[in-house]
Chains A and B, each alone.
Chain A
C-alpha cells in the first residue's frame, strides 16, 4: 500500500511517503523553500517523496492529512466570537484565512496532487500526534501523552495505544480543551521575553537556567492544577483569542513587570556570566522564564500521573510541540511513573505526516509494531561531485560583500578540496582538523527529519573548547550566548559521559533530553554544557548512522572520548541546508574552516596567500 502523509496550514509543513508499512521518504517543506517553519502546502516535499520512490501521485492508494479542518474551524470561529467585539480584528483575519483557504484542505490536496477526493482522508490533530507517537515507538502497547499549543479543540490529550490482531488501535482517554493550553502559555511567555514564538521557545528554556523560580507560586495559580489531576489556565493573563493585543494581558505585565523588546540585551552566558553585568530587569526576566519552565514541568508530570492512573503501562509515547522541551522531557524520564519513553524524531506538527501515513497503512493493510519504527534520516541526499567543481572558480574575495558581521578573510586565500575514496582516511583527515580546533560543516547522507541536527547536517567542533564555541556562536551561528550547545557521543563512551541510568541511554539517540553530565567528563565537554551542567546528548549507535559514528570514533581515537559538539548546519533564521551549494555558501560567508560534503573535504587555505 502506498500512502502519502501531508501536514500543512499552521507551521512546519511536511510530507511523508510510506510504502508497505515502511517510510520511504519524509521531509519538511522548509528545507526546499528556505523559509523557516514554512506552512504552505508541501509541494516540493511531496515531489521529493514521490521521486524517491519512483512514483507519481496517480500511483498513491491514499493521501492523509493531519488535521480535521471542519472541527478546527468550529474552534476558531467560536473562540474568536467568544471574545467579540474585542476580537473583531482577529475574527476578520481568521475568517479570511479559513473561508478563503484552510477550510478547503481536502479540495486543495486533491487539486495539488491531482488525486480523487475519495483518496484523501484526515485525522484530528491530536489523534495525528497520538498515532505519530505510537507508530514509531515499536511498543506493543503504551500510554500516549500529547501536549501541544492547540489542535482542533484539544490542547493536551491522553490516549492508549496497542496492537490488536495485527492492527494498531489508538483510543482517546480524555483531553484538555482550548483555551487551557500549556503550549500557548509557553509561547506567550516566549514572546513576552522578547523571543520569537513558535520558534525560539528553546531560548526561554535556556534562559530559565539562569533564573530562580521566585514567581512559581503565582504561576502555579495561573496554571492551576485541578482536582481531577489536570490543569486550567487563567485567561485573565493571556490573549489567546485576541492575539493582535500582544501575547499577554496588562494584568500579566502588572504582576511580572514589563515585557522585553527583542533589541534589549540579555547578557547571560552559558559558559559563565561575568559578575555585575546582569541588571535587575534581566534577572527578573530569567526568573519569569525559570518559573514558567518549572510550572510547565509540574503540569506535564501531573498529566503523566493522571495518564498512568488511567493506563498503567511502563511505556509512554510523548509528542506534540511541548515534547520538544528537553528539560521537561528529562523530568518525565526521571520523575514520572513510566519506565520507557519514546519521543518521535520530529514530535511537532512536521512529524505528523509520518505517523498518520504509517497508521493508515497499518490500519488498512495490517502490520507489526517493529516494522513501523523509522530513523530520522529520511530527507534529501545529494551528490556533491558536481558542486565541488565550483571550488576552482571561487575566490574568497567574491564573498567579501556578503560576509557575516565580524568575519574577516585574509586576502589571497584560496579554497581547496580533496575527494577521498577511502572512508577511513576521510574521517581521519576530518578528525585531525577538529582536533586542531577547526569549525567543520558536515553534510553527508540523507537529511534529518525534524529540528535536530544528528550528524548529517551539522556543524562540528571539539567539545572541550569554550573559546571555539564562542567563536562558533559569534561568527558562524549568530547565536545568543545564553543558548547552550549539544554534543554527540558514541554509545561506547556515553555511559562514562552521562550521569543517567544505563537503561536510558538508547532513549537519548535524538537529542530529546537535557541530562546531567558526569563530573569526570565536564572538562572535556565544557563547550557543550549549559550553566547548570546539563547537555542535550545524541547517543550515536553504529546502526543509526554508520558514517557519523565512524567520524566520532576517529575523533575519539585522538581526543579520548568519541564526542563532538554538534549544532545544526543553518544560518541564523534559516532552516538547515539541503544542497551542497547551500552548504558552500554558508561556508563562504562565515568563519567556518572546513566543510565535509559526503566524501569531499573543502577547506580555506590561508597559507596559500
Chain B
C-alpha cells in the first residue's frame, strides 16, 4: 500500500470526520446535538465553497 496521499483523499476524509464527530457526540451522551452539528457543518461547507470560488464572495456577502 502506498503511503502517500491520493488526490481524492480530502473527499474521503471530510465525510469520515463528520461521521466520527457525530460518533463522539453520541459517545458522550450528547446525541441530541448531532442534527445541530450537521447544520453547522453544512453551513461551514457552504461558506468554504463561497470562499473557494473567490469572485462569488462579494456578491454573496453583500446580501447580508
Bits for A276-305, please: 1 = Cβ < 8 Å to B, else 0.
Answer: 000000000000000000000000000000
Is A107's beta carbon under 8 Å from chain B?
yes
Question: Once the chains bind, are A103 and B21 in contact (CB under 8 Å)?
Answer: yes
List CB contacts (< 8 Å) of B26-57 with chain A: 27-28, 30, 33, 37, 40-41, 43-44, 48
Distance to closest chain B CB from A102 (angstroms): 11
* A12 CB within 8 Å of chain B: no
| 0/1 string, A49-93, CB within 8 A of B gives 1 | 000000001111000000011110110011000000000000000
A32 to chain B, nearest CB (A): 24
Query: Cβ of B27: which chain A residues have Cβ within 8 Å of it?
Result: 71
Q: Is the CB of A70 within 8 A of B3?
A: no
CB closest residue in chain A, given B45: A99
- A257 within 8 A of partner (CB): no
What sequence of 0s and 1s flags, for each residue 1-21 of chain B, a beta carbon within 8 Å of any chain A beta carbon?
A: 111111001101110110011
Question: Would you give the shortest CB distance from B34 to chain A, in whole angstroms?
Answer: 10
Interface membership of A47, Cβ < 8 A: no
- Chain B residue nearest to A108 (CB atoms) is B13
**A71 & B13 in contact (Cβ 8 Å cutoff):** no
* Contact of B44 with A116 in the complex, beta carbons under 8 Å: no
Within the assembled complex, what's the spacing in Å between the Cα atoms of A118 and B10? 13
Residues of B contacting A70 in the complex (Cβ-Cβ under 8 angstroms): 17, 20-21, 23-24
Q: Which residues of B contact A115 (CB under 8 A)?
A: 3-5
A110: chain B residues at CB < 8 Å are 5, 9, 13
Kindly state the separation between the CA atoms of A111 and B24 in the bound complex, as whole angstroms. Answer: 23
Q: Is A485 an interface residue when CB atoms closer than 8 A count as contact?
A: no
The reply to whether B44 and A60 form a contact with Cβ atoms under 8 Å apart is no
**Residues of A contacting B41 with CB < 8 Å?**
99
Contacts A70-B17, A74-B25, A74-B33 given: A114-B44 contact, CB under 8 Å? no
- The answer to whether A106 and B21 touch across the interface, beta carbons within 8 angstroms, is no
**In the bound complex, what is the Cα–Cα distance between A113 and B5 (angstroms)?**
8
Closest approach, in angstroms, between the C-beta of A175 and any C-beta of chain B?
A: 13
Assembled-state Cα–Cα distance A70/B24 (Å): 6
**Residue from the list A95, A104, A114, A153 in contact with B40, Cβ < 8 A:** A95
Please tell me if A117 contacts chain B, counting CB pairs below 8 Å.
Answer: yes
Residues of A within 8 A of B9 (CB): 107, 110-111, 116-117
Shortest distance between the CB of B49 and any CB in chain A (Å): 13
Q: What is the bound-complex CA distance between A117 and B4, given in angstroms?
A: 9
CB distance from A87 to the nearest CB of B (A): 15
**Cα–Cα distance between A168 and B63 once the two chains are bound (Å):** 57
A106-B17, A110-B13 known; A116-B3 Cβ under 8 A: yes
**Chain B interface mostly:** helix
Partner of B17, one of A58, A100, A107, A116: A107
Does B4 contact A74, Cβ atoms closer than 8 Å? Answer: no
Task: State the Cβ distance, B55 to closest chain A Cβ, in Å.
Answer: 20
Chain A: number of interface residues, binned into ranges:
20 to 34
Give residues 89-137 of A contacting B (CB, 8 Å).
95, 99-100, 103-104, 106-107, 110-111, 113-119
Q: How many A-B residue pairs have CB under 8 A?
A: 76
Nearest CB of chain B from residue A70's CB, rounded to whole Å: 4
Q: What CA separation (Å) do A107 and B37 show in the bound complex? A: 19
Known: A70-B20, A70-B23, A95-B40. A119 touches B3 (CB 8 A): yes
Cα A540 to Cα B34 with chains together (Å): 54
Closest to A153 in B: B28
Determine the distance from Cα of A116 to Cα of B6 in the docked complex, in whole angstroms: 7
Cβ contacts under 8 Å, B1 to chain A: 116, 118
Known: A99-B44, A110-B13. A73 touches B21 (CB 8 A): yes
B37 & A117 in contact (Cβ 8 Å cutoff): no
Q: Are A74 and B13 in contact (CB under 8 A)?
A: no
In the assembled complex, the Cα of A74 lies from the Cα of B24 at a distance in Å of: 7
Partner of A106, one of B13, B23, B28, B44: B13
A58 and B30 form a contact (CB under 8 A): no
Asked if A116 and B37 sit within 8 Å, CB to CB, the answer is no
CB distance from A94 to the nearest CB of B (A): 11
Which residues of A475-522 are within 8 A (CB) of B? none
CB of A183, distance to nearest CB on chain B (Å): 21
B21 interface neighbour in A74, A111, A116, Cβ under 8 Å: A74
Most buried by A among B6, B13, B30: B13
CB-based contact B28/A74 at 8 Å: yes
Q: Which residues of B contact A58 (CB under 8 A)?
A: 3-4
Inter-subunit contact A104/B13 (CB<8 Å):
yes
Say yes or no: A71-B10 contact (C-beta < 8 A), given A114-B4, A114-B5: no
Q: What is the minimal beta-carbon distance from A429 to any residue of chain B, in angstroms? A: 50
A117:B12 contact, CB within 8 angstroms? yes
Among the listed A68, A77, A106, A114, which residue makes an inter-chain contact with B33, where contact means beta carbons less than 8 Å apart?
Answer: A77
15 residue pairs from A and B, CB less than 8 Å apart: A68-B24, A70-B17, A71-B24, A71-B28, A74-B33, A99-B43, A100-B48, A103-B17, A103-B21, A104-B13, A107-B9, A111-B9, A115-B4, A116-B2, A117-B5
Known contacts A104-B13, A117-B12; 18 further A-B pairs (Cβ under 8 A): A71-B28, A74-B21, A77-B37, A77-B40, A78-B30, A99-B40, A100-B48, A107-B9, A107-B14, A107-B17, A110-B5, A111-B5, A114-B4, A115-B5, A116-B2, A117-B9, A118-B1, A153-B28
Q: Would you list the 9 A-B pairs with minimal beta carbon distance, nearest first?
A: A70-B24, A99-B44, A107-B13, A70-B21, A71-B24, A70-B20, A58-B3, A74-B24, A74-B25
